[in-house]
Structure 1
Amino acid sequence: MFMEFKVTPWEVEGIVDYQKLIEEFGTTPIDEKMLERIKKDFGELHLFLKRKIFFSHRDFDMILDRIEKNQKFALYTGRGPSGHTHLGHIMPWIFTKYLQDKTKANLYFQLTDDEKFLHEREMTIEETHRFAYENALDVIAVGFDPERTFIFSDIDYAKTLYNIAIKVAKKVTFSTVKAVFGFENSTNIGMIFYPSIQAAPCFLPSILENEKIPVLIPAAIDQDPYWRVTRDVAEKIGYYKPTAIHCTLLPSLQGASGKMSASDPDSAIFTVDTEEDVRRKVRNAFTGGRTSLKEQRELGGDPEVCSVFLYLYYLFEEDDTKIEERRKNCLNGDIICGECKAYLTEKIIRFLKEHQKRREKAKDVIEDFLLKD
């Protein structure tokens, strides 16, 4: 039974009931019919689709129509640079790369250094801008096509973005953003205007490519409120409504009740973590195990609340047979938490070693990816 939960673009509390969230946000579940269509169009289903990690959408069927007619669309996603990148951030980027690889679409990647300066009381604009650069290295390290990928920070690309955002802002009332985002009298006016800045890249491809092009936004479901507002005004200013495909949130290492946070180092695995960091964090991770080995053997564990199992399910065990065998062994008490932790630790270390090599190389080519005024 789910307790009360809260999901906003800045905060997640409790264990999220994603079916209830679909109803609350008014999105559409990805059903078997759509999965069959994606498989037909793309030749294969990504792991995230098979496991329903990407589970919801807004008008993704319209993008599939365009793919089938060989018509253009663009990808748009982003990152709020309040700290180093963690695996929860990378998860939708991995899926975005799959979409780019299959469709050859251009990707516009927004780094919202302005928003994080406005929202995080203790952060300076210099800090958020520096993290934007650091996060951009991680974006490049995922392996996007350099000929089709355009990365920009809001601060560096402010002139271009503002010329679009001002048109959005004119059509959005304070009562709308207050209702959608929960803004209060104490909210600074920068945050009140900011949703129009995050809306701007939805229309950027149409402006830069000089033709009306819809965007598809692969992102975590907590960002959806921005697109609800944007969709309400898009046609009023002469553009397509943005479309979206949503993923669930990778749980915190400290338990399933909430998402990982860049401000809480032990809640997540970061791309800059050392081998020792990984070993310590996984060793201390919340599991679904019992209080004693005897109880574990007799009663079994609970993989559905175990952050170690969920990390394997989401990212680090692609073999469906193996993950189901591990689930069964946990439930039956045939495997103990230490074994799963050791297995996950080595998987993460191997992943980070390769990612960090690509991240270092990205420093030499980052300028080739950046859009600036």
Structure 2
Amino acid sequence: MAEASVEDNFNGVAVTPWQVTGAVDYDKLIAEFGTAPLTPALVERVERLTGRKAHHFLRRGIFFSHRDLDQILNAYEAGERFYLYTGRGPSSEALHLGHLIPFIFTKYLQDAFKVPLVIQLTDDEKFLFSKHDATLHPLDAYIQLGRENAKDIIACGFDAEKTFLFADSNYIGSLYPNVVRIQRAVSFNQVRGIFGFQLSDNIGKIAFPAVQAAPAFSSSFPHLFGGDAQVPCLIPCAVDQDPYFRMTRDVAPRLGYRKPALIHSKFFPPLQGAEGKMSASDPNSAIFLSDSPAQIRKKVNKYAFSGGRDTVEEHRLYGGDCSRDIAYQYLTFFMEDDERLEEIRQAYASGRMLSGEIKAELVQCLQPMLAELQAKRQAVTESDLNRFMQPRPMSIS
């Protein structure tokens, strides 16, 4: 099995499931990971098959890479349906903007293709990989964080009839047969090569990749798919999660299963600069779904890295650098209007728009979006949560 992570110590770049540092070269990442670029032809094909305009994440290259998306589209065009699988590792009470990216896009895919979705809450992973004292941060704490995060996820608007949310700590019994099959088929040398595990790591870490791999096989959900073990799976995720599913795709043929397809997003940058990704562990690097309008404004104005010049005179003369400006980068993720985004880009790059003005544009974009999500999240009841987390049949026809 080929190496599935990228670490370039000379340039300070690292891309693993647990760490993203430095300025990521996505073309290099495609070459290193062995994925395929998401071409305009594939985007056009998605539009044609779904009968709707492609999501702006596709149009703008935010989702930029894939594995076998073309085969999923071939199957769909031939009348075969598939299911979606994505997940969340609960490490904070509220999701931040970076966590939203795969869920926003997955909702688009669910609506466009009208397919079932499974969402894994890896409370076990966060407990096993935590650097905190287990007595101060017990498993129960991560289980509760998972339930809180699930309410944020439900607020994104997923179809309750086609969505199954599950926590590993609760659903592991149904996953376990496939977990064991995967564990038997993958050696310690393989997972050490992929994930960099050390001999001093707890054995739960070493065993966990099989738990994240198992939901990529439909037989892990006997209640949902009626025992059909060959329903194709498409996984939308950030590209740092690819190592898990590279392992999964390697083992699938040996278990008699179909390889899951993947579609990868770029990283959502922290407020302080366009390197690495937004982190829940640093509240000043992230805007959370629970932040008030005043907190959003303060974080953007105080912490968002500017691509503007040192003085107003220089900025008017030379313009701002959109490739480094965080306010502009965030607008590419959350401003749906292509024409308005292009107007802002031209105005900022030419110097007609100042840094304070582009930050004001971002604040005006984020405040109503998060207010709507907060209202929807507030409306999610324990009954709603239990409904999403109840194993039940789901039609794939």
TM category, shorter: over 0.9
Match 2:65 to one of 56, 73, 77: 56
Q: Which amino acid aligns with 2:117?
A: L
**CA–CA distance in structure 2, aligned partners of residues 53 and 199 of structure 1:** 24
| Paired position in structure 2 for 1:36 | 44
Aligned ranges for residues 284-299 of structure 1 at < 5 Å? 284=302, 285-299=304-318
Q: Provide the residue aligned with 1:242 in structure 2.
A: 260
For the Cα contact (< 8 Å) 1:221–1:248, is it kept in 2? yes
- Give the percent of matched residue pairs that are identical in Structure 1 and Structure 2: 47
Is residue 2:54 matched to residue 1:45? yes
> Closer, same or farther in 2 for the Cα pair 1:247/1:318, shift >3 Å?
same
Q: Tell me if 1:101 matches 2:111.
A: yes
Which of 90, 98, 108 is residue 88 of structure 1 equivalent to? 98
Instruction: Assess, with a 3 A threshold, how the Cα gap between structure 1 residues 326 and 205 changes in structure 2: closer, same or farther.
Output: farther
Deviation for aligned residue 1:59: 0.5
Query: Structure 2 counterpart of 1:58, which letter?
Result: R
Aligned-partner Cα distance in 2 for 1:207–1:14: 38
Structure 1: unaligned runs, 5 residues or longer: none
Which residue of structure 2 aligns with residue 326 of structure 1?
Answer: 344
Q: How does 1:332-371 map to 2 (within 5 A)?
A: 332-363=350-381, 364-371=383-390
User: Which letter maps to 2:23?
Assistant: I
2:6 counterpart residue number: none
Q: Give yes or no for the alignment of 1:20 onto 2:28.
A: yes
The 2-side partners of 1:279 and 1:45 are apart by 30
Q: CA deviation at 1:243?
A: 0.7
* CA distance, structure 1, for counterparts of residue 57 and residue 47 of structure 2: 13
2:93 equivalent to 1:75? no
CA RMSD of aligned residues (A): 1.5
Q: 1:224 aligns with which of 214, 229, 242?
A: 242
Q: Separation in 1 of the partners of 2:221 and 2:306?
A: 49
Distance 2:362 2:18 in 1: 28
Which residue identity lines up with residue 262 of structure 2 in the other structure? A
CA distance in 1, matches of 2:28, 2:247: 20
Residue 75 of structure 1 aligns to a residue whose secondary structure is: strand
C-alpha distance in structure 2 between counterparts of 1:310 and 1:186, whole Å = 40
Deviations 1:80-122 (A, max 9, x none): 1011211111111111111111111110000000000111121
User: Per-residue CA shift, 1:303-343, capped at 9, x if unaligned?
Assistant: 1111100010111x222222122112112111111111112
Whether 1:307 and 2:346 are equivalent positions in the alignment is no
The question of whether the paired residues in 2 share the 8 Å contact of 1:156 and 1:372 is answered with: no
1:135 to 146, 149, 152: 149
- TM-score under structure 1 length normalisation: 0.96
CA distance in 2, matches of 1:266, 1:337: 19
Aligned to 2:7: none
**Paired residue for 2:270, among 239, 242, 252?**
252
Cα contact 2:174–2:220 (8 A) shared by 1: no
TM-fit CA distance, 1:280: 1.2
CA–CA distance in structure 2, aligned partners of residues 266 and 127 of structure 1: 23
SS of equivalent to 2:323:
helix
The CA distance in 1 between the partners of 2:272 and 2:221, in whole Å, is 44
Q: In structure 2, what residue type is equivalent to 1:9?
A: P
**Deviation above 2 Å: which 4+ runs of structure 1?**
204-207
CA distance in 1, matches of 2:151, 2:367: 19
Match of 1:265 in 2: 283
In structure 1, C-alpha distance between the alignment counterparts of 2:330 and 2:367, rounded to whole Å: 13
- Give the letter for the 2:206 counterpart: I
In the aligned structure 1, how far is the partner of 2:386 from the partner of 2:247? 32
8 Å contact from structure 2 (residues 214, 220) kept in 1: no
Matched, 1:200 2:214: yes
Rounded to whole Å, the distance in 2 between the matches of 1:205 and 1:97 is 23
The CA distance in 2 between the partners of 1:186 and 1:304, in whole Å, is 41
Residue deviations 1:167-189 (CA, integer Å, cap 9, x gap):
11000001111111111122211
Partners of 1:310 and 1:131 lie apart in 2 by 29
- Mapped to 2, the partners of 1:260 and 1:207 lie a distance apart of 32
Contact (CA 8 Å) 2:174, 2:221: kept in 1 or not?
no
Equivalent position SS for 1:156:
helix
Aligned residue among 5, 16, 40 for 1:8: 16
Deviations 1:129-148 (A, max 9, x none): 11101110011111111000
* 1:125 corresponds to which of 114, 121, 139: 139
Q: CA deviation at 1:372?
A: 6.5
Shift of 1:204: 3.7
Mean CA deviation greater in 147-156 or 204-213: 204-213
Residue in structure 1 matched with residue 3 of structure 2 by the alignment? none
Residues 194-238 of structure 1, C-alpha deviation per residue, up to 9 Å, x if partnerless? 000001111145642121211100011010000000011112112
Where 2:81 maps in the other structure, the secondary structure is: coil
What residue number does 2:180 align with?
166
User: Does the 8 Å CA contact 1:220/1:246 hold for their aligned counterparts?
Assistant: yes
